[in-house]
Amino acid sequence: MSTFPDRPVAVLFSGGDSPGMNALLRAIARLGLNRHGVPVLGVREGYRGLLRAARRANRGEKDLFVMKQEIGSRKGRWGLIHSEQDVIQLDHASVSGIVGAGGTMLGSARCLEFKKPEVRAEAVKLIKDLGVRALIVAGGDGSLAGAQLLEKEAGVKVIGVPCTIDNDLLFTQMSIGVDTAVSTLVWAVDHFKDTARSHKRIMVMETMGAKHGELARLSAIASGAEMVITPENGPVTMPQILKLAETIKTGMVCGRSHTIVLVAEGVQFEPEHFVQGSDPSHLPTKRNRAYVLADIFQSYFHEQEGELKDLEVRPSVLGHLQRGGHATPQDCILAARFAQQAWEAIMDPNEGSGITALRQGRVQLVPFGAPDMPERAEMSAEFSRLHASLSSW
Ligand code: ADP
């Protein structure tokens, strides 16, 4: 029997973190308490924390009883400061002052063993034993794949909420975190421009985006970066890179003071040996795209005549900096809207499981495994054309 006055809703954050996750947590907790009067449980560190809790509680009736007591007696901030407590009952105060804070207060994690059905069965038992009526899983495509499996196995409603800075979930126009990451990249490009201009340099900057170039494309449009290279058009060959170098040269000859090139981390090279480490005694290690491109561009300019020979090319990899920072108002608003949709789906007996999505400007619930929106591919192509037309080569 559950110790909660009403069957609770549990929420967890999984996979790569994204700004706006705290805004989502706050909205889920506050809407649950204020609008629906339903207790909300937060699970620390995604599926990993869920499993840790399951392994403690599944040892026997007594352990489950102790865990329930612990959750009930150490609510809110009190539970949060006990780091051994993986399931925390959230109250109003526990989510105070976090709306725009970067990262996720509950923590996020990767948990490879969660891909095994027998391991998920341990989590399913805990979900049932705690009387959880619905589980909200916030994360990227991997986390949502896990959520879909849990939904089938646990027999409770599971609502996925897209959180990723890559914007690579193509069933929604936008995911939580993209707007903030674009803002951060614009900030970074602005800083690079200052120094690039002072030294008449070419800066090659690598952005996140393992499978999709949306983050790089949006950031290039918003920042005015002159060139953007994304994975969608297949592997980039040496002749193509040399053509890009020639375009940069033309711009510099015509009087440009600098050039900023954005390259998404998911870009592949053909042949791939461009990106292997040069020391044959080591296992080949993949080099960052920005470094590979900068080296090729630099060699190209060294072979030129006159002043062009002295042009310097500098690489930079922003890495996890792109994941952090205060969430933008747009991300906080999207998080609140997704939370509202999640609750509507949970409280509506005629609604099933699914993922919150933004489509044609409206938030709605789409089924797990929903196909990509054709508009997303069209938008990507349009953004590429728009960026090209905005450049001044
Ligand atoms: P993201 O959610 O940001 O895309 P990952 O792809 O690393 O990040 O996935 C996060 C976690 O989701 C994994 O560590 C694992 O616990 C879970 N997960 C991913 N794919 C699956 C799957 N096919 N089945 C079950 N769980 C999965």
Tens digit of each residue's pLDDT (9 = 90 or more) over 209-243:
988 999 999 999 999 999 999 999 899 999 999 99
Q: Is the pLDDT of residue 2 over 60?
A: no
Question: How crowded is residue 332: how many other Cβ atoms within 10 Å of its Cβ?
Answer: 23
What pLDDT score does 96 carry?
Answer: 95
The CATH number for 353's domain is: 3.40.50.450
Rounded to the nearest angstrom, the distance between the alpha carbon of 145 and the centre of ligand 1 is 7
**Which bin fits 212, alpha (ψ -120 to 50), beta or left (φ > 0)?**
beta
For residue 89, give both structure tokens: 């009952």
**Alpha-carbon distance 207 to 265, whole Å?**
6
Query: Is 39's C-beta closer than 6 angstroms to any atom of ligand 1?
Result: no
Regarding beta strands 354-359 and 202-207, do their DSSP bridges make them parallel or antiparallel, or are they unpaired?
unpaired
What pLDDT score does 310 carry?
Answer: 93
Q: Structural domain tally of the chain?
A: 2
Query: Is 47's C-beta closer than 6 angstroms to any atom of ligand 1?
Result: yes
Question: Global pTM?
Answer: 0.94
In a domain, 226, yes or no: yes
Tell whether 120 and 205 lie within a shared domain.
Answer: no
Tell whether 305 and 210 lie within a shared domain.
Answer: yes
What pLDDT score does 282 carry?
Answer: 47
Tell whether 206 and 241 lie within a shared domain.
Answer: yes
Range of the domain at 340: 9-176+327-371
Q: Tell me the mean pLDDT in the region 6-18.
A: 96
Ligand 1 probe mutation, 18, 43, 114, most atoms within 8 A of CB: 114
In a domain, 1, yes or no: no
pLDDT in tens, 76-125: 999 999 989 999 999 999 999 999 999 999 999 999 999 999 999 999 99
What pLDDT score does 162 carry?
Answer: 98
Query: Is 110's C-beta closer than 6 angstroms to any atom of ligand 1?
Result: yes
Q: Tell me the mean pLDDT in the region 166-195.
A: 97
Q: Is the pLDDT of residue 145 over 50?
A: yes
Q: Where are the beta strands (DSSP E) in the chain?
A: 9-13, 40-43, 87-90, 134-139, 157-162, 202-207, 227-229, 236-237, 259-264, 269-270, 313-317, 354-359, 362-366
In a domain, 298, yes or no: yes
Tell whether 14 and 137 lie within a shared domain.
Answer: yes
Q: Per this entry, what is the length of the chain?
A: 393
**Which bin fits 364, alpha (ψ -120 to 50), beta or left (φ > 0)?**
beta
What pLDDT score does 1 carry?
Answer: 43
